[in-house]
Chain A
Amino acid sequence: MEQRLSQAQFRAIFSRPCSLAEFDLPQWEQLLRILRGADMLGAFYYFLKTNELLPIVPDFFQAHLHSAKRYSDRQVQQIKTETDYLCQTLQTINCQPTFLKGAAYVLDKTSNHEGRVMTDIDILVYKDDLALVETTLKRYGWVEKKLDDYDQQYYRKWAHELPPFNHPERGVTLDIHHTIIPPISGIEIPESLLFGTTKHTESGKITLSDPMMVIHCIIHLFYNEDYEKSFRDIFDIHLLLTDYEEKYQLTSICQLADELGFSKEIYYACALTDAIFKTQRVKNLTGQSARYTHVTTTNFFIKNIILPAIMPHHDLINTPWSNFARTIMFLRGHYLKMPLKVLVPHIWVKFNRALVMLVMGPHHYEK
């Protein structure tokens, strides 16, 4: 029986890339499947390139890396064009969108943008502009994506986000936000902090400020319930922090996080990158975040729940424990996002659907 790649071996690639030299062909094959399942093949190409390890990669793996690289390079090009179109469209109502996540990484040329793939473009606009943005997009050929009724209702009522838009001619999906954390969580980020500190990229487009971009990436990971592809997120956070540390001290991120109420999330992120990428971030934390260093329960939670939960979800590498940890994170994500009076009915609907799917097969609600 061939040797299965363990979670520890997988993690070791990112702290000690030269450990790849000891991989045999079956392990490379497993790695290919895990990375492809995690949408990380393109990013892995650039990771190996940075570490000058491309020459040790077996030929069959090399071919898949190059294919994924070509795809993601093309997407970078596409993002530049699509964001141009979008700015022109919204210019007609004097709205300058702030680009978030993947599109922002491309526009800002952060280290994690190379090789990264995305399924949609995210923009942030003022809440007061939402209705106008919606009608304008529709006038320029964008259409609302069809969601199943329950989800659509949920989006409108509780997430306070417009449902995703889709441009049928160009095949692009657009997500429109008016804040960077679902308002239902009860956490409000003042508009002045979001929009007042934005920056212009080389091409003149707008993204969040450097510290806000990192914090947003961190919030996105920890106010989430789906951890199946989260390894990519922690890899994003690691690279964004690395870029940030080249220019500034972590202190400024800590300060902003304290102000917004995300000190714990900053600690989580730094402790996780220390564990996976062998960075030394926790000891450089200041303010509220630094306080968690000696909180046993927090450290236990990070080591035993978050860390296994963010491993790529794949039959080859899942363990009963990592599946359990992912379930805990799933429940936690829902709990954080919703007050109980929303959460209980929501879970009830989802539970009933799950029951029907258990009996009828998991595809009962598909049309």
Chain B
Amino acid sequence: MTSILDLGVYRFAIEGCPSFILPSLSTLYDDSLGLFPDKPIDFHLTIKNTSLLRRLIKPQVSIYFDNQRPFHPIKKSLLLPSIEWGLNWCIASFDFNHLLIHSSVIVKNGKAIIFPAQPGSGKSTLATYLGLTGWYVYSDEMAIINLENQQVRPMHRPSSLKNKSIEVIRELIPDATMSPVAVGTHKGDIAHVKLTTRAGFNALCDADVIAVVFPKYRENQSLSIEELSQTAGFSRLVHHAFNYNVLGIDGFNTLKSVVDKSQFFNLSYSSYDGLNAFFSDLVM
């Protein structure tokens, strides 16, 4: 069967979506699952079994995107994280109408702070924590910046937690809505967290980026915040922008406008104490 995911900016269809995954999608995506069945779809993912024999022994599935198969086949039980990566892959491979920065995005008072970082730096965990304690999370994975108004756009999606982060969030926020954990993906154990309802998402608007924070989680280290120059910030941002090299002059102007309006910080932390206050000050 085909399931529609309306993320706001993009509309996806998942063809051959196995029924065992629907409860998770329905929990995480809320009313965005199956929303506006008559509106056109931007990207189709198709889930197929790999071979006759493998249907019976160690069942595997592959995700196809039209004729392409961007990832290796996976065990059926690991499908949910792969769908999430599939969505990211489509956006990053085909959207050159926005500047995409590998970053999570949190918003309060209509002002956005972005956390550009490599995988494993704790940006998703940080965004998840903040998303469950009073911030709006526009994405835990990529800042989607409109080339026309240089504002970051919201996307309705759950966040992804890896390995230890799953326990961290469970302990800090026991009533968080979390998907079952997919154990043993190539990135380790993965769980997804619902951060907002569709109704909550509908109230969100594009927002100006006013600060860029490069987070680094370091065990047993006290909080350290170091301000960076805009020049240093600019070059670090370029490094995290997926499609900056394709966008040419529009990419440069957009990034420049973000930099002009932003303060830049290096942040290392081992606990969330005090972070909320620091971020709240930035968006006052």
Chain B 72-87 per-residue mask, 1 if CB under 8 angstroms from chain A, else 0: 1100000000000000
The number of A-B residue pairs with CB atoms under 8 Å apart is 71
B97 within 8 A of A: yes
User: In the assembly, what is the distance between CA of A71 and CA of B248, in Å?
Assistant: 10
Q: Are A361 and B60 in contact (CB under 8 A)?
A: yes
Whether B188 sits at the interface, judged by CB under 8 Å, is no
Given A64-B42, A67-B94: A36 touches B66 (CB 8 Å cut-off)? yes
Q: How many residues of B contact A (CB 8 A)?
A: 29
Measured between beta carbons, the chain B residues less than 8 angstroms from A28 are 40
Quote the shortest CB–CB distance from B31 to chain A (angstroms): 21
B1 within 8 A of A: no
B247–A361 CB distance below 8 A: no
CA of A28 to CA of B41 in the docked complex: distance in angstroms? 10
Cβ contact within 8 Å between B94 and A64: yes
- Rounded to whole Å, the gap between the CB of A229 and the closest CB of chain B is 9
Known: A70-B96, A359-B51, A360-B51. A366 touches B72 (CB 8 A): yes
A26, B2: Cα distance in complex, Å: 14
Check A362 against B247 for contact (C-beta < 8 Å): no
Looking at A67, A77, A361, A366, the one whose CB has the most chain B CB atoms below 10 A away is A361
The answer to the question of A29 belonging to the interface, with a C-beta cut-off of 8 Å to chain B, is yes
Q: Which residues of B lie under 8 Å from residue A360 when comparing CB positions?
A: 51, 53-54
* Chain B residues, Cβ within 8 Å of A26: 40
Q: How many whole Å from A89's CB to the nearest CB in chain B?
A: 21
Tell me whether B50 and A362 are in contact (CB under 8 A): yes
User: Are B54 and A361 within 8 A (Cβ)?
Assistant: yes
- CB–CB B67/A66 < 8 A: no
Given contacts A77-B248, A361-B50, contact A313 B67 (CB under 8 A): yes
B246 within 8 A of A: yes
Give the residues in chain B near A314, CB-CB below 8 Å: 66-67
With both chains docked as a complex, state the minimum distance between the C-beta of B271 and any C-beta of chain A, in angstroms: 40
Interface residues of B (CB under 8 A from A): 11, 38-42, 44, 46, 50-54, 60, 62, 66-68, 72-73, 94-97, 245-248, 250
Chain A residues in contact with chain B, CB under 8 A?
Answer: 25-26, 28-29, 33, 36-37, 58, 60-61, 63-64, 66-68, 70-71, 73-74, 77, 228, 313-315, 357-363, 366
